[in-house]
Structure 1
Amino acid sequence: MDIKKTGNIMKKTMKRLLYLLVLNAVFLTACKDEEATKKVLDNNLSEISKLLLEKSGIVSEVYTDTTIVVANGIEETEIHFLKKDGLTTRVFILKVDLKVPGIKVKVATPYDSPGYTGQTVPDMAKYIENANTKVLGGVNGDFYDIANFLPRGPLHKNGVVIKGNFTPSVSLPQQALSFIGIKKDGKPIIGYANEYDAVKSDLKEATGGGALLTRNGEKVDNSRFAVALDPRIAIGYTEDDIMYFIVVDGRNFYNSNGATYSDLSGIFYALGTHSSINLDGGGSATMMIRNPEADILQVRNRPSDGRPRAVAHAWMIVSEN
């Protein structure tokens, strides 16, 4: 036996074993560091992000989230996350507590008039502000006929019925299906189009809408609609009078890819809503808040049109003296 050769083999074997032990130690340390980093990230996430991770069924990982306290009872959270289908998404969630005195949710129309025309959400806000009313946030409202700005569904504003019926579109069956309103007692309500007449006289503010997303706390199956990933606007409410206004950006692969009805249902289910509804979206989807630092109206999302588009009407969150 060649003792010298055997010794060299043993030395090489020991070096390899030592290398593997060091490599394993580095790997275990990296895993622990990654786990610790994830715990830190999770601890720094907003409660809304945690709910989406745990209950929405669509969120794989949250990259970042930022919450702005707009006013007492009103918070806006921007969340950048990875969906389970591998697509990056940005969602803007405006949480409004209707139990806070002075906070109201109202319909706005272009130039604060009942006529059918178009105006951007930020410009509509300027026309309804006065010494007693301050706009704190807003999104665009129901679908409408782009040829004449006629809303697809009903339109109530400050107790006045501007339009009291539905105008369906044969080519767009996902429109004119439902309504969302604020009743005279200040409570929100969402229902199907065939339920509108029964509550019409009790609605102070109202617009029509598209597909219901959640109802009685459960997700609604909208698989009958052939809808793609798109920028979306949706509103929902909980049984304890919390309203959520949601805008999902889309049509930009690297920034945000939009959402389906199923995605929105998952988000509203995670937020614990009683009912929620899809509204107008697409290139005009706009989320606006009053920036508390600068005290100016600020568009928070990135409309895929490049800037806010003139729309038929909007939903506004206001404070009233």
Structure 2
Amino acid sequence: MKLSLNLLFLLLCGLACAGCEEEDIIQKKKTYDYQSEVAQLVADSSGIVSEVFTDTAFTVVPGVEQIEMHFLDMRGYTTRLFIQRIDLNTPGLSLEVGTPYDLPSYGSSQTVAEMARYADKPGHRVVGGVNGDFYDISNFVPRGPLHKNGEIIKDRFTPTAALPQQALSFFGILNDGKPHIGYTREYENYKSRLTEATGGGVLLMKDSRVVDNSQFPQIDPRIAIGYTAENIIYFVVVDGRKFHYSNGMSYEYLSKLFRSLDVHSALNLDGGGSSTMMIYNALGGVWQMRNQSSDGKARAVSNAWLVISDQP
């Protein structure tokens, strides 16, 4: 009888401790002090985050917020996520295509920061950006169309069978200032109305619905762009290929991330080792790469998407 009572006592203690642990976990989730509403939405609503280690947020210029998260994903892998939230309703803010030496051409390369330096001038300040469309690595010809400052520089898609995730879509800014994402088959209907545009890869969200990309299960460093019905743009970069730092993301997870931010449409851009997210650091007077590419440094690319402010 004494043994049974002891066992009962231990069992009750164990259940009590288990309850305490569960309560502690819930309490930690309740008391985590998020620096950004965006980070909290991703953590609470995407279904891809197991545990948040850190998140930071700061304003680059009015209307542009930089959010950075370090978390454990649902696979059990550490992940570094970088988001630029751009409110196109902010007076003086716009998006434009960056090209090497700011020329209306293609077939050469620069890093995103170098493109920013050539495009930047008083009243036309480059304050953020990511690299843009996929391209042929042998000649830097982009896979999709290219529009810049209202000029159509390239008006066709050049897919390759070896890379089926490229030349599937386009992202652009219409002549009324609104963003638009579409499949290749929609391009001809929008071509004359696009003032800025590049091609893209798989669609992640379309008309507020997640796109099924289960045929592409790969997990890699990623760049993506999406927008809401309220003209909020999200640039997203996920680092990868460094196990203890960050392990990349699948298209499925990217879609869930954008869904948590109430995005209308989103697509994947050029990523992998060239993944770059850049901001202008006013204190240092430099264009600063925020993420850590798997190459270890910024890679020269074919084109970019730049955030423009009309500040002097």
Q: Report if the CA contact (8 A) 1:283-1:305 is conserved.
A: yes
Q: Report if the CA contact (8 A) 2:144-2:198 is conserved.
A: yes
Q: 1:233 aligns with which of 198, 206, 223?
A: 223
Q: Report if the CA contact (8 A) 1:69-1:292 is conserved.
A: no
In the TM superposition, 1:246-261 aligns within 5 A as 246-261=236-251
Q: 2:137 aligns with which of 138, 146, 154?
A: 146
Residues 33 and 211 of structure 1: is their aligned pair in 2 closer, same or farther, counting only changes over 3 Å? closer
In structure 2, the residue corresponding to 1:138 is in which secondary structure? strand
Q: Report if the CA contact (8 A) 2:237-2:275 is conserved.
A: yes
Per the TM alignment, residue 300 of structure 1 is displaced from its structure 2 partner at its CA by 0.5
Q: 1:173 aligns with which of 160, 164, 186?
A: 164
Q: Report if the CA contact (8 A) 1:153-1:208 is conserved.
A: yes
In structure 2, the residue corresponding to 1:278 is in which secondary structure? strand
Residues 296 and 26 of structure 1: is their aligned pair in 2 closer, same or farther, counting only changes over 3 Å? same
Distance 1:130 1:50 in 2: 36
Q: Report if the CA contact (8 A) 1:59-1:81 is conserved.
A: yes
Q: Report if the CA contact (8 A) 2:84-2:236 is conserved.
A: yes
Residues 138 and 37 of structure 1: is their aligned pair in 2 closer, same or farther, counting only changes over 3 Å? same
Residues 115 and 23 of structure 1: is their aligned pair in 2 closer, same or farther, counting only changes over 3 Å? closer
Distance 1:16 1:223 in 2: 50
Distance 1:244 1:222 in 2: 20
State the TM-score, normalized to the length of structure 1.
Answer: 0.90
User: Does 1:103 pair with 2:93?
Assistant: yes
Distance 1:195 1:270 in 2: 26
Per the TM alignment, residue 173 of structure 1 is displaced from its structure 2 partner at its CA by 0.9
Q: Report if the CA contact (8 A) 1:91-1:248 is conserved.
A: yes
Q: 1:89 aligns with which of 66, 70, 79?
A: 79
Name stretches of at least 5 consecutive residues in structure 1 with no aligned partner: 1-8
In the TM superposition, 1:33-72 aligns within 5 A as 33-41=24-32, 43-44=33-34, 46-72=36-62
Match of 1:185 in 2: 176
Match of 1:205 in 2: 196
User: Does 1:130 pair with 2:121?
Assistant: yes
Q: Which amino acid aligns with 1:178?
A: S
Per the TM alignment, residue 132 of structure 1 is displaced from its structure 2 partner at its CA by 1.7
Per the TM alignment, residue 54 of structure 1 is displaced from its structure 2 partner at its CA by 2.8
Q: Report if the CA contact (8 A) 2:34-2:55 is conserved.
A: no
Match of 1:3 in 2: none
Q: Report if the CA contact (8 A) 1:291-1:297 is conserved.
A: yes
Distance 1:251 1:70 in 2: 28
Per the TM alignment, residue 57 of structure 1 is displaced from its structure 2 partner at its CA by 2.2
Residues 63 and 172 of structure 1: is their aligned pair in 2 closer, same or farther, counting only changes over 3 Å? same
Question: What do residues 148-201 of structure 1 show as CA deviations (whole Å, max 9, x unaligned)?
Answer: 000000000010111011001110111100000001111000000010001100
Distance 1:132 1:88 in 2: 40
In structure 2, the residue corresponding to 1:251 is in which secondary structure? coil
Q: Which amino acid aligns with 1:247?
A: V
Distance 2:6 2:139 in 1: 80
Q: 2:109 aligns with which of 110, 118, 122?
A: 118
Q: Report if the CA contact (8 A) 1:71-1:292 is conserved.
A: no
Q: Which amino acid aligns with 1:60?
A: S
Residues 318 and 17 of structure 1: is their aligned pair in 2 closer, same or farther, counting only changes over 3 Å? same
Q: Which runs of 4+ in 1 moved over 2 A?
A: 12-38, 43-46, 291-296
Per the TM alignment, residue 18 of structure 1 is displaced from its structure 2 partner at its CA by 8.8
Q: Name which of structure 1's ranges 113-122 and 195-204 shifts more when overlaid on structure 2.
A: 113-122
Per the TM alignment, residue 260 of structure 1 is displaced from its structure 2 partner at its CA by 1.0
Question: What do residues 215-256 of structure 1 show as CA deviations (whole Å, max 9, x unaligned)?
Answer: 11110001223x421100000000000000000000011111
Name stretches of at least 5 consecutive residues in structure 2 with no aligned partner: none
In structure 2, the residue corresponding to 1:240 is in which secondary structure? coil
In the TM superposition, 1:228-307 aligns within 5 A as 228-307=218-297
**Which has the larger Rg?**
1
Q: 1:223 aligns with which of 211, 214, 217?
A: 214
- Percent identity for Structure 1 against Structure 2: 52
Match of 1:6 in 2: none
State the TM-score, normalized to the length of structure 2.
Answer: 0.92
Q: Report if the CA contact (8 A) 1:49-1:62 is conserved.
A: no
Match of 2:149 in 1: 158
Distance 2:128 2:28 in 1: 35
Residues 115 and 85 of structure 1: is their aligned pair in 2 closer, same or farther, counting only changes over 3 Å? closer
Residues 21 and 64 of structure 1: is their aligned pair in 2 closer, same or farther, counting only changes over 3 Å? same
